[in-house]
Amino acid sequence: MIRTVDRDSKRAALVEVAAACFAKSGYDGTSMSDVAMAAGISKGSLYDYFADKEDLFYAVFEWFEQQLAQVIAIQTAPEGPIIQQIERSVEAVASSLVQNIALYPVYLEVWAAAARTGTRARFSQAMQALYAGYRQELATRLRAGQEAGEIKLEADTDSLAAALVGAIEGLMLQYWFDQSIDVQQSVRTFLRVLFDGLSTKQAPS
């Protein structure tokens, strides 16, 4: 029904507003009132769309996650040498995060929430799944690279995938605290070095 459509799109709009609020003031620093006011609706109405404050926050997280997933997915286009595919993919993710840096704090809040007894489970599992998925995605490609003879066979693809995911996450974190860091450049340098080491081809002397 149109009703449903309206409802869903309004909910989606609310999520975006809430995301901005949470990003600015954190989970505990944001009141339901704040969100309602920012969205121009009444406090009571907010509860028509979300059961809970935590529910609202979780919705924000899901939305955030989806956006990221889209970026990652887009680069799946399997063209050219695997190494270049990975490079393109990693750079795309990094660039997307840099562009949306304003919402990055939502992430930090999710991590913190995931660590808190009581809230732990829900967010913790989601993050775990998120990272596991991304690691798998990369590991699969690395293995494909091995099969294609582009990447050394003895490389432990799972470990490397984890390290790669970590490097991106860790660079973003540093970038958040110090925006003078050039994430893209760092990522590129890093991948080049890595692949010069990984690659079966002789590194250019």
Partner DNA sequence: GATGAATGAGTATTCATTCAT
Partner DNA sequence: TATGAATGAATACTCATTCAT
Q: Which does 138 bind (CB under 5 to 8 A by kind): a copy of itself, DNA, none?
A: none
Smaller CB distance to a copy of itself: residue 29 or 80? Answer: 29
Among 104, 136, 147, 149, binds a copy of itself (CB under 8 A): 104
The CA-based angle 91-165-123, given to 5 degrees, is 120
Q: How many CB atoms lie within 10 A of CB 169?
A: 15
Binding mask 21-40 for a copy of itself (x = CB under 8 A): --xxxxxxx-----------
Beta bridge partners of 151: 199
Which residue from 104, 92, 72 is spatially nearest to 173, judged by alpha carbons?
104
Whole-number Å distance between alpha carbons of 136 and 144: 12
Main-chain phi, psi angles of 157, to 5 degrees? -60, -35
Binding residues for DNA (CB under 7 A)? 3, 7, 10, 29-33, 41-45, 47-49, 52-54
Minimum CB distance to a copy of itself, residue 157 (Å): 9
C-beta separation of 151 from 142 below 8 A: yes
Minimum CB distance to a copy of itself, residue 117 (Å): 5
142 counts as binding a copy of itself under rule CB under 8 A: no
Minimum CB distance to DNA, residue 118 (Å): 11
95 counts as binding a copy of itself under rule CB under 8 A: no
Q: Which does 10 bind (CB under 5 to 8 A by kind): DNA, a copy of itself, none?
A: DNA
Structure tokens at 173: 């974190």
Q: What is the dihedral of CA 189, 191, 193, 197, to 10 degrees?
A: 180
Angle between helices 157-177 and 183-198 (to 10 degrees): 160
Site size toward a copy of itself (CB under 8 A) is: 61
User: Where on the chain is the footprint of a copy of itself (CB under 8 A)?
Assistant: 23-29, 104-105, 108-109, 111-118, 124, 127-128, 131-132, 135, 155-156, 158-160, 162-163, 165-174, 176-178, 181-182, 185-190, 193-199, 203
